[in-house]
């Protein structure tokens, strides 16, 4: 158990809808990173939040947005869902700037877009 | 650009050693990681190695790093059925907010 929790575990949406995924970081961690993992592929970095601000972004469109709260928990929001957004969404917490920067992952949210 | 490559499948007999290989491209990576993912689960950190090390051993796991060739391997001794999973290697981009770049994963299949 990493202490990183994600909700919900599964979600089914239709094309064009909006979705919010949630992540509680491990105690003592101040940074949350979000990844998208399509079936049969490795995770792709979406963005990272540190001190409640976006602190780096991968190659994802602006309809992917996020928030980080003062307790370091985080949300991932996706607007105008597309079929290709179907994936496992993983959140990882860490402590920014430490030399090892080990990221601890939650179990993920499986999003299906119909 | 950054890229991490792994072969997609590895099949070994129970009790044998498994060697999972990975190549990466960013020579500035300071840490490289191995994660394990079981079906329907998130990613579990197995081990990591600092770039100035050649080898790291942790119980049944041995990580070898050839920095010149940008080649990383994970050896699992005495492979058990519980080792069946997908294994991912990842490198960290220190110049890009510590973003992790991942391989596509190697599915380890254990034959009885």
pLDDT, tens digit (0-9, with 9 covering 90-100), for B6-40: 999 999 999 999 999 999 987 777 789 999 999 87
Separation in Å, CA of B42 to nearest CA in chain A: 4
Lowest mean pLDDT, pick from A34-43, B1-10, B33-42: B1-10
Query: Across all residues in chain A, what is the average pLDDT?
Result: 93
pLDDT at B40: 79
Q: What are phi and psi of B82, to 5 degrees?
A: -70, -10
**Structural tokens at position B42:** 């998130």
> Taking the alpha carbons of A110, B100, B54, B49 in that order, is the dihedral positive or negative?
negative
Q: Is residue B83 classed as helix, strand or coil in its secondary structure?
A: helix
Q: With CB atoms and an 8 Å threshold, state whether B4 touches A42.
A: yes
Mean pLDDT value across residues A46-62: 93
Residue A98 confidence class, pLDDT cut points 50, 70, 90: confident
Residue pair A48/A54 in contact (Cβ under 8 Å)? The answer is yes
Do A102 and B45 lie within an 8 Å CB cutoff? yes
At residue A99, the pLDDT reads: 65
pLDDT of residue B1 exceeding 60 = no
Q: Which of A2, A43, A56, A105 to mutate to test the interface with B (most CBs of B within 10 A)?
A: A43
């Amino acid at each position: 158990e990493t202490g990183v929790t994600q909700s919900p575990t599964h979600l089914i949406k239709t094309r064009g809808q909006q979705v919010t995924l949630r992540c509680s970081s491990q105690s003592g961690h101040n940074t949350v990173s979000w990844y998208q993992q399509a079936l049969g592929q490795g995770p792709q970095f979406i963005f990272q939040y540190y001190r409640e601000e976006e602190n780096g972004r991968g190659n994802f469109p602006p309809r992917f947005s996020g928030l980080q709260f003062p307790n370091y928990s985080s949300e991932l929001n996706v607007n105008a869902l597309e079929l290709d957004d179907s994936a496992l969404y993983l959140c990882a917490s860490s402590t920014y700037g430490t030399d090892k920067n080990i990221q601890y992952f939650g179990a993920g949210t499986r999003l299906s877009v119909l | 650009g950054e890229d991490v490559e792994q072969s997609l499948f590895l099949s070994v007999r129970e009790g044998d050693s498994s060697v999972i290989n990975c190549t990466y491209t960013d020579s500035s990576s300071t840490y490289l990681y191995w994660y394990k993912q079981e079906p329907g689960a998130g990613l579990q950190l197995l081990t990591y190695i600092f770039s100035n090390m050649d080898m790291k051993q942790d119980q049944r796991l041995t990580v070898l790093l050839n920095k010149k060739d940008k080649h990383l391997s994970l050896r699992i001794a005495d492979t058990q059925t519980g080792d069946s999973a997908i294994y991912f290697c990842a490198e960290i981009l220190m110049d890009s907010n510590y973003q992790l770049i991942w391989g596509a994963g190697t599915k380890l299949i254990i034959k009885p």
